[in-house]
């Protein structure tokens, strides 16, 4: 998909007037079905220069030709409107309306050029959505032109464990704390989600998928009529000279030690669908376990598979769930050649020495700590002390 870049220090605008030749644009599935449009522009550190795709250009023109308005919001540590002029036209025919739309597009482009670059450090995406929702109005659309890697506010991916938290847990946490903006009736597109620039490192595919689920589930829980994501091109160049934005550490798997316990965290490749004993990523889970199978086959004594869970749901639910998950890992290992009589699987739910308190003071589940408690531990012969 060809994309026009709002690039360079001057942040050259890329909105295209009616009647100008453009690459063909495919209709966007979610946004633009009536109502006004609010653009959230992320011209900030650690992200590429914002881009306006042919699809988004077509949407902007469609909204204006329907005599609705297009607004713009700057995304930084304190998101603010940068274009709030309502579109009005007395045009009595299509050519006259197109001329009005062209003039309005020029005004929007000028506002983006002059005001879209970040003023405050960090990026508060939830607050930007709140500002955009007020501008778009019920039935309107919001397009977030940014990586959506928030670094402050009530959804902050610099906090340990948030980026790889279970999306449903995280959404429940936000809903329970009344931390989501009111997106009732709005349609939301995250355009360029997860696309970062130096010094922010790239998101692994599994993490990028989780980020997309976090935002689409959060938007839906906030009342959005629909939510969708698009990704951008490969590794782009960061914009220089802007206020700082914290880098977000990527979850990295811990290499299996030659002896002792191997912890298969739920946030990793051997992770399970919420409340089930089904792998989220079956191929990745099998690949990880295939790498462990030879050592387990050569073990001198049986190994234990110990399933643990978060505190949510109570022991009556979590103990059989933890057992089922340990059994599922055993099933894959046996299929990979590990003798069945060398594996003992048991589920302990929360009855585990390394269990951490995953309940917040107000009784809500802490999503990051809950995910930390969900795991299958492979207990092997312990390493010999020197």
Six-digit token string for 64: 């204006």
Out of 3-12, 23-32, 114-123, 180-189, least confident range: 3-12
The answer on pLDDT for 83 being more than 70 is yes
Region of residue 298 (phi > 0: left; psi between -120 and 50: alpha; otherwise: beta): alpha
Q: Report strand pairing: 70-74 vs 37-41.
A: parallel
Six-digit token string for 301: 């004594």
Region of residue 40 (phi > 0: left; psi between -120 and 50: alpha; otherwise: beta): beta
Residue 133: pLDDT band with limits 50, 70, 90:
very high
Among 267, 123, 144, 270, which Cα is nearest to 209's? 267
Out of 21-25, 35-39, 135-139, least confident range: 21-25
pLDDT in tens, 239-264: 889 999 999 998 776 677 777 889 99
The neighbour count for residue 168, using CB atoms within 10 Å, is 16
Six-digit token string for 177: 């704390």
Whether cis (ω within 30° of 0) applies to the bond prior to 199 is: yes
Six-digit token string for 54: 């042919």
Burial of 294 (C-beta count, 10 Å sphere; 0-12/13-18/19+): exposed
CA–CA distance, 330 with 51 (Å, rounded to integer): 47
Q: Could you identify the residue written with the tokens 């002390």?
A: 385
Most confident of 3-12, 335-344, 365-374: 335-344
CA–CA distance, 130 with 188 (Å, rounded to integer): 12
pLDDT in tens, 170-207: 999 999 999 999 999 999 999 999 999 999 998 988 89
Query: Helices 54-65 and 94-115 meet at what angle, rounded to 10?
Result: 130
Six-digit token string for 227: 């939510």
């Amino acid at each position: 998909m060809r994309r026009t870049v709002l690039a360079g220090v001057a942040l050259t605008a890329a909105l295209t007037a009616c009647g100008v030749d453009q690459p063909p644009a495919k209709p966007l599935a979610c946004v633009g079905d009536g109502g006004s449009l609010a653009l959230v522009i992320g011209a900030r550190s650690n992200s590429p220069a914002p881009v306006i795709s042919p699809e988004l250009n077509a949407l902007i023109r469609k909204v204006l030709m329907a005599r609705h308005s297009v607004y713009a919001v700057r995304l930084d540590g304190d998101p603010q409107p940068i274009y709030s002029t309502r579109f009005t036209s007395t045009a009595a025919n299509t050519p006259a309306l197109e001329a009005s739309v062209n003039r309005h597009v020029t005004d929007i482009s000028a506002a983006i050029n002059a005001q879209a670059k970040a003023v405050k450090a960090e990026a508060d995406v939830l607050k930007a959505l709140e500002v955009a929702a007020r501008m778009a109005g019920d039935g309107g659309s919001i397009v977030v032109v940014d990586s959506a890697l928030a670094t402050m506010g009530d959804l902050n991916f610099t906090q340990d464990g948030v980026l790889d938290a279970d999306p449903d847990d995280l959404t429940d946490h936000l809903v329970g704390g009344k931390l989501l903006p009111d997106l009732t009736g709005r349609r939301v597109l995250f355009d360029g989600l997860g696309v970062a620039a130096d010094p922010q490192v790239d998101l692994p595919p599994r993490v990028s998928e989780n980020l997309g689920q976090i935002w689409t589930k959060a938007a839906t829980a906030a009342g959005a009529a629909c939510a969708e994501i698009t990704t951008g091109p490969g590794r782009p160049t960061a914009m220089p000279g802007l206020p700082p934005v914290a880098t977000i550490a990527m979850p990295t798997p811990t290499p299996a030690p030659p002896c002792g316990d191997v912890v298969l965290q739920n946030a990793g490749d051997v992770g399970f669908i919420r409340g089930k004993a089904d792998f989220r990523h079956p191929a990745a889970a099998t690949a990880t376990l295939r790498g462990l199978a030879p050592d387990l086959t050569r073990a001198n004594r049986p190994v234990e598979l110990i399933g643990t869970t978060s505190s949510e749901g109570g022991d009556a639910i979590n103990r059989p769930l933890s057992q089922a998950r340990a059994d599922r890992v055993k099933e894959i290992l046996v299929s990979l050649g590990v003798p069945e009589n060398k594996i003992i699987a048991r589920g302990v739910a929360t009855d585990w020495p390394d269990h951490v308190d995953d309940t917040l003071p107000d009784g809500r589940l802490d999503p990051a700590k809950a995910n930390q408690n969900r795991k299958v531990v492979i207990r092997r012969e312990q390493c010999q002390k020197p």
